[in-house]
Amino acid sequence: MSTFSKPNRGSYRVVAMAAVVMFGLFSIVGTGGGDDEEGEPPPAIPDLSGIWAGTWQGSDPSVGGLGPVSGTWEAEIHQDPSSAYGPAMLTDPSSSGANELTGTVTRAPCATVSWTLTALNVPDGTAAGSWTNPLTTGGGTLSGTRIAQLGGPRISFASPPAGGPGTVVTLSGQLFSDLTSLRFNGIDQPLRQIEEVSRIVARVPFGAGTGPVEVIAQAGTARSPRYFSTNVTSPAPVPGASAVVGTTPAAVTVSPDGRKVYVADRNSPPIGRVSILRAANVSVGALTFTAVTGGSPRSVVASPDGRRIYVATAGQGVLVMDAALAQLLDTIVLPIDDQGRDNPNGLAISPDGARLLVSSGTVGGSVSVIRIQDKATVASLPMESGVAPMGVAFSADGELAYVAAADIGGSTGNSLIIFNPATGGVLDSKAVGALPTAVAVSPDGARVFVSNQADNSVTVYNIAANTVSNQAVGAGPTGIVHTPDGTRVLVAYRDALSVGVLDASSGAQLTSVTVGAMPIGIAINPQGTTAYVANAGNQTVPCVLVLAASIAAPPAKRSL
């Protein structure tokens, strides 16, 4: 085993250049040491070049501290004969003796954190160590691996990050051309639905377990920066913790790593807000929140790389926020006005994280397809007169789009419209119940579910069989989500103070769980252990199954 250590002749020094959020720009340079008689140059720097990624965890036990903490890191390291440099998690490190490398990381407003790498195995591409925060007495461990070589293929993320056999998974990255093999924790998947230079779409093969996804191409081999989890389930129908959040929490989503819960509070203008909760301890309440002046947040999604959240906001458009602190970064100006209707699923992001579906919510409005990179509207689907676009969703492979089209005027009929997100062209439509509100797609892409708020039903569209059925459910079905194991569908019953648990194959209700007043939005973590409900009637976000938290506020009259 090879470790990074201080040599007998000469030493290495890691010089911090700048700090960027969790990361800094560093370089490793030889500092000489030519005191020896032979005048030999210092040993060559170990080959650290490549893409490194890993996790850190620990605790912050100080008064007012965060308690258990954890996160991820990623770094791209370049190297020449005399130095290595690049953006990294650690700043201002220096060599501190044999078999270890130490340094500090500083990120306002947090205190300076010291770190030590005690095991850097260059041939195996692994690193491990520890960190401490002298100010708070916090500390923990960190570890990582080299996931790709410079100039070769690279996996940025897998979406979704978890799923069972048959789940459709999108790998986003670069240099996937001339692919020779795709493996889920060592199990080959020879069948790929889509194979492009920056995107691969394939199903989780049977027999695959939790572990890295690997891409092998002519240009090299790359591993996913995080393990893909096949350990998925459906939450047990048991109420969990809850937290008071804002005044009218109406939509909720979960980060791809399952650590954070984002809540959109549609409180009437002039001030709404977006809150962040820690999934590990929802009952503590919001870690932080951002006020939204002059707008009413109504839908929220997280980017599959975990770096951004997007919030559809009436009166403003789509707010682009940093996922760590919900800081506003940009605004995609669009006309959004749900005219008093609930629309917790009126925003969707494509599996590759490149596009947004945004429903205007307005009678006679439209669905816009936004290219995130430049905020351009690349396609639009206008509604007929008297029809309002409500919930939207991408197909499991991102090639199709769905919108719940609510016939407010009573002349054309309610429908689920299937369209091409590249052109806006309508491909098909299916009749659904009254006031279709939200849409959910099964992990294998085989079924689409629509909640019909005004007639207390859920529509199940079986794509392969091309059949549609309506199932009677609880009062006011609104937000809807599919569990990652593919067996259940969860529906927020706005007028029944509960969440319904449906059988995914038939749509029939199996049971229901009381969660709070006026549940509207619902989301589930990637492993399927916890669902989160936004209770707009009592300002809470409860956990159930454990449905993890409900969000509530004062009751409001529903408008058709």
Please name the residue that has the structure tokens 């996937």.
Answer: 176
Q: Any idea which of 324-328, 349-353, 424-428 has the lowest mean pLDDT?
A: 324-328
Answer yes or no: is pLDDT of 24 > 90.
no
Question: What are the tokens at 534?
Answer: 């936004």
pLDDT confidence of residue 123: 79
- CB neighbour list of residue 84: distance below 8 Å, 6 or more residues apart: 27, 28, 45, 48, 49, 77, 78
Residue type, position 232, single letter: V
Say how far apart CA 431 and CA 512 lie, in whole Å: 26
List, in sequence order, every beta strand (DSSP E) within 255-360.
Answer: 260-265, 271-278, 286-293, 296-302, 308-314, 317-322, 328-333, 347-349, 355-359
Task: Provide the pLDDT confidence category of residue 299 given band limits of 50, 70 and 90.
Answer: very high
Answer yes or no: is pLDDT of 129 > 50.
yes
Q: Which fold has domain 239-550?
A: Methylamine Dehydrogenase; Chain H (2.130.10)
pLDDT tens per residue across span 391-449:
999 999 999 999 999 999 887 889 999 999 999 999 999 999 999 999 999 999 999 99
Answer yes or no: is pLDDT of 101 > 90.
no
- CATH number for 154-223 (one of 2.60.40.10, 3.90.226.10, 3.30.70.890, 2.120.10.10): it is 2.60.40.10
Instruction: Determine contact, residues 422/435, Cβ cutoff 8 Å.
Output: no
**The domains spanning 12-148 and 154-223 adopt the same CATH topology:** no
Q: What percent of the chain has pLDDT over 90?
A: 61
- What's the mean pLDDT in 255-275? 87
- What's the mean pLDDT in 306-315? 95
Q: Where are the domains of the chain?
A: 12-148, 154-223, 239-550
- Of 165, 163, 90, 92, the closest CA to residue 120 belongs to 90
pLDDT tens per residue across span 185-212:
999 999 999 999 999 999 999 999 999 9
Answer yes or no: is pLDDT of 335 > 90.
yes
pLDDT confidence of residue 87: 55
Region of 3 on the Ramachandran plot (φ > 0 left; ψ -120 to 50 alpha; else beta):
beta
Q: What percent of the chain has pLDDT over 70?
A: 81
Instruction: Determine contact, residues 534/522, Cβ cutoff 8 Å.
Output: yes
- What's the mean pLDDT in 287-303? 92
- What's the mean pLDDT in 69-90? 66
Say how far apart CA 154 and CA 199 lie, in whole Å: 11
Answer yes or no: is pLDDT of 16 > 50.
no
Answer yes or no: is pLDDT of 235 > 80.
yes
Task: Provide the pLDDT confidence category of residue 85 given band limits of 50, 70 and 90.
Answer: low
DSSP tag of 189: -
- What's the mean pLDDT in 366-385? 97
Task: Provide the pLDDT confidence category of residue 106 given band limits of 50, 70 and 90.
Answer: low
- Is the pLDDT higher at 93 or at 418? 418
pLDDT confidence of residue 268: 57
Residue ranges of alpha helices (H) inside 262-357 are none
Task: Provide the pLDDT confidence category of residue 109 given band limits of 50, 70 and 90.
Answer: low
- What's the mean pLDDT in 135-141? 85
pLDDT confidence of residue 485: 96
Say how far apart CA 492 and CA 161 lie, in whole Å: 24
Say how far apart CA 343 and CA 323 lie, in whole Å: 22
Note the pTM of the prediction, 2 decimals.
0.86
Task: Provide the pLDDT confidence category of residue 107 given band limits of 50, 70 and 90.
Answer: low
pLDDT tens per residue across span 530-544:
999 999 887 666 655
- CATH number for 12-148 (one of 2.30.30, 3.30.310, 3.40.1130, 2.40.128): it is 2.40.128
Task: Provide the pLDDT confidence category of residue 58 given band limits of 50, 70 and 90.
Answer: confident
Tell me the average pLDDT of the chain: 83
Answer yes or no: is pLDDT of 17 > 60.
no
pLDDT confidence of residue 100: 52
336 backbone dihedrals φ, ψ, rounded to 5°: -130, 125
